[in-house]
Amino acid sequence: MAKLDFSFENAKKLMDGYYPLYIDGKWMDGSDKEVMDVYCPANQEKISSVACASEKDVDTAVKAAWRAFPAWSKISLTERYNILQQMYARLTARATELGMVESLETGKNMAGNVGEIYFAIDQFPYFASAMRVAEDGISSAADGSKTMAVREPVGVVGAICPWNAPIIMCAWKLAPALAAGNCVVMKPSSFTPAGTMELLKLVADLLPPGVFNVINGKGSKTGQFLMDHPGISKLSFTGSTEIGVQVGLAAAKRLIPATLELGGKSAGIYFADIVPDLLDEALGYAAVMLFMSGQGCALQTRCIVQESIYDMFVDRLAEVFRNYKVGMPWDTSARMGSIAYEAHMNSVLDYIDIGKKEGARLVCGGSRITSGEMGKGFFIEPTLFADVDNGMRIAQEEIFGPVLCVIKFKDEEDAIRIANDSVYGLGGGVMSGDLAKALRVAGAMRTGTVTINNAATHLAGAPFGGFKQSGLGRESYRTTLDHFSEIKTINFKY
């Protein structure tokens, strides 16, 4: 595909000015005619609007999904595989356009965002293949009899997606749900629904009516209606731990399964033996959290550095932060974009004030960018705190912004203690010239993912999920199919 000219106007042209609900294979307005506007956080300009689903609309979507379920759940694995492969082909052909739309509505930098899109859509061929090899198991019970384990879909999945990586989260939920034979009712974030709607437009005709339904609206209304609907067989949620607890309780009340991918306060451990060979690599790894303006649940937000290199590391890292270019999403030379919406920007700024009051040393950043073109949007300078105690709020609570805390440690045991001293356990990393030590520390960290020496991450087939208050279950892995399936035992004689 030819390279597209990414600008605000060109990206906006890729979007519809208005997105209705999509229920039972049809586009329709909400029954109460409520509409919600969508804005670009980089300049606060309106880019689209969506219909909001009422409780009646949610009920219509769930019932449509159940009508579609008997036929969809019984189609052959080969046919389902082919459909998911066709979805992948279409999405791949339009990945750049999807990246432009998502960058416009999230404020994220376009250059890195396209890579996220390819990672997201790779879930479709992965789970199509995983389902084909997830064979039923048969064992002998006695002479003349067998025991057979059969995988069956759970039914109708209620999927609730976040605003920070909407297309990734849509794919992470949709691909395994469809591969396992389920139907889906999905609610995108009220801040960033356009990317999901554009993905839907590309694949809608490949699926029978009712198999994939998308409803928009506020989480407190539409999301709550979906959580509480008695026709939902499973809930899949990505978002804050606070809301995740509510989703988990809603599932528990009806004794249905829930997959919860929640918050994080990920720690990167930097040993003194990274000097000199791995120092530049380590500094780059520490600054990766700026890519999404810190708005990623697994991004490193605690930088735990051995005391003998602490001062040097902070000085060098501050240089990286000061030179990290912040810019509009369509600025191809920029590396970091805006915060997703105003209330969240204010929350991040409040945490920066808390850090200063707690006694942490603000090394660089810490302010909203108010000059030039970025002054129209929700931009915060890359912010670095040093002399941070792990007990401070800025080291314990999820800020979800471009704020990195640098904490000092003495030895290996001390590093592990600090890293694990958190209610979260989602991501983490180790930088060391001693691979045996790095593997030992990685094994001791109570977290779902550990990256050693800035290794490549985010591959389909790599489990994603967390320990402790970072959630329940794993996504992007073959066992994810277990979360979208019921396993039935059949005993028979012959």
Contact 409, 249 (CB under 8 A): no
**Closest-CA residue to 405 (of 296, 300, 298):** 300
Question: What's the chain look like in SS3?
Answer: CCCCCCCHHHHHHCCCCCECEEECCEEECCCCCCEEEEEECCCCEEEEEEECCCHHHHHHHHHHHHHHHHHHHHCCHHHHHHHHHHHHHHHHHCHHHHHHHHHHHHCCCHHHHHHHHHHHHCHHHHHHHHHHHCCCEEEEEECCEEEEEEEEECCEEEEECCCCCHHHHHHHHHHHHHHCCCEEEEECCCCCCHHHHHHHHHHHHHCCCCCEEECCCCHHHHHHHHHHCCCCCEEEEECCHHHHHHHHHHHHHHCCCEEEECCCCEEEEECHHHCCCCHHHHHHHHHHHHCCCCCCCCCEEEEEEEHHHHHHHHHHHHHHHHCCCECCCCCCCCCECCCCCHHHHHHHHHHHHHHHHHCCEEEECCCECCCCHHHHCCCECCEEEECCCCCCHHHHCCCCCCEEEEEEECCHHHHHHHHHCCCEECCEEEECCCHHHHHHHHHHCCCCCCEECCCCCCCCCCCECCEECCEECCECCCCHHHHCEEEEEEEEEC
Q: At what angle do helices 77-93 and 95-106 cross, to 10 degrees?
A: 70
Contact 380, 295 (CB under 8 A): no
For the annotated catalytic residues, the residue numbers are 261, 297
**Closest-CA residue to 266 (of 240, 241, 297):** 297
Number of residues written out for the chain: 494
253: its two tokens: 């009340």
C-alpha–C-alpha distance, residues 95 and 101, integer Å: 10
